[in-house]
Amino acid sequence: MSRKKKIFVFTSIGFLSVATLGIGGYFIYDLVRGNPDIYGDLVAEDYMDDNTQLFADYETLRASSATLDTYQETYAPHQLFNIALHESQKSEFIKLETRGNVNAAGLKQTVLAYQLRNGDEYFYESISKGLFSVGKRFYQGEDVTWYSGKFSLFNSNYYWKADSEQIISIEEFKEVWGFDCSIISPYIVSSHTSLEASDTSISDGKLQLSLHLDPLYSVIEYSKQMLHMGDLEAWPVFESVKLDVSINSDFLIESMNITEYYEVKKIGWHNAKGTLDISCAYGEPGSIPDVDTLITYN
């Protein structure tokens, strides 16, 4: 029997990508506590901005050797985030490492995720450990191949079941899951979703964004991922979403700390709080792990 390979990921407590059980509780549900599709009539594109001119203006400003102070004075927090997101996603090689916690009904879930871009290939693994253990692994090239995991109580690892393999087109995947594996952030951050409390500061030579997002319109696509990734029994209902984002002088996102409050249905309805940290690295090629390679989070 061949020995399984391992990838070791060293992360810190915190972060969404994006992970399995979102966070929040926004509307007051009816007494029946049914399964209302509160996102059903919402079209995500209606709450996004056309940032074409924004990106062009940024390139002009950058060519003038603008300082971080100038960027802070020129752009709103949601604009700075979208510029940084645009610049970050230009990199051919991206690695995102995520660790966090979701607390619901007095119980804690540990959330772990590992995401890679290697040229035109993408990899995303998301795991939630606790009373309910859920894991999924995705490979994206010309289409999306994904696997469900089996949790081992013996060594706390997930082993990916080859017979769970599913292959669908990228468009079909986005329809079901809300977005594909190439994205860095699943939230809609725009003039429609950024609340007045959002702010920008400069610390240690970096832009620090504090983004308070509308708890309905910012999660139209993200809610799909939560529903399917967490095997939830109903659509999650958010109360608040806050992103603290650190952007370096090259306008690359270095880290995101996310705090969400929501109501989630998993054997009954529960109020939940999630705190998640995501760290980002760029430019260093990393091979896409095969289905037999274990990722160990430390």
Map tokens 């490492």 to a residue: 97
Query: For residue 43, is it within any domain?
Result: yes
Instruction: Give the pLDDT of the chain (298 residues) as one tens digit per residue.
Output: 444 455 545 333 333 333 334 443 334 333 344 555 688 789 999 999 999 999 999 999 999 999 999 999 999 999 999 999 999 999 999 999 999 999 987 888 899 999 999 999 999 999 888 877 788 999 999 999 999 877 666 666 777 888 889 999 999 999 888 889 999 999 999 999 999 999 999 999 999 999 999 999 999 999 988 888 777 888 889 999 999 999 999 999 999 999 999 998 877 888 899 999 999 999 988 789 998 888 887 6
- The number of folded domains in the chain is 1
3-state SS assignment for residue 132: coil
CA 134 and chain centroid, separation: 16
Q: Beta partners for 200? A: 209
Q: HSE of 61 in the Cβ direction (CA atoms, 13 Å)?
A: 19
**Domain boundaries, position 144:** 6-297
Q: Beta partners for 192? A: none
Query: For residue 102, is it within any domain?
Result: yes
CA distance 105 to 2: 42
The tokens describing 233, both together, are 């029994």
Cβ count near 73 (within 10 Å): 10
Q: What is the DSSP letter of 239?
A: E
CA distance 244 to 91: 22
Under a CB-based contact definition with an 8 Å cutoff, are residues 23 and 272 in contact?
yes
Cβ count near 40 (within 10 Å): 7
Query: For residue 182, is it within any domain?
Result: yes
Output the pTM of the full model. Answer: 0.86
Query: For residue 112, is it within any domain?
Result: yes
Query: For residue 115, is it within any domain?
Result: yes
Query: For residue 78, is it within any domain?
Result: yes
Query: For residue 238, is it within any domain?
Result: yes
Query: For residue 1, is it within any domain?
Result: no
Amino acid sitting at position 126: S
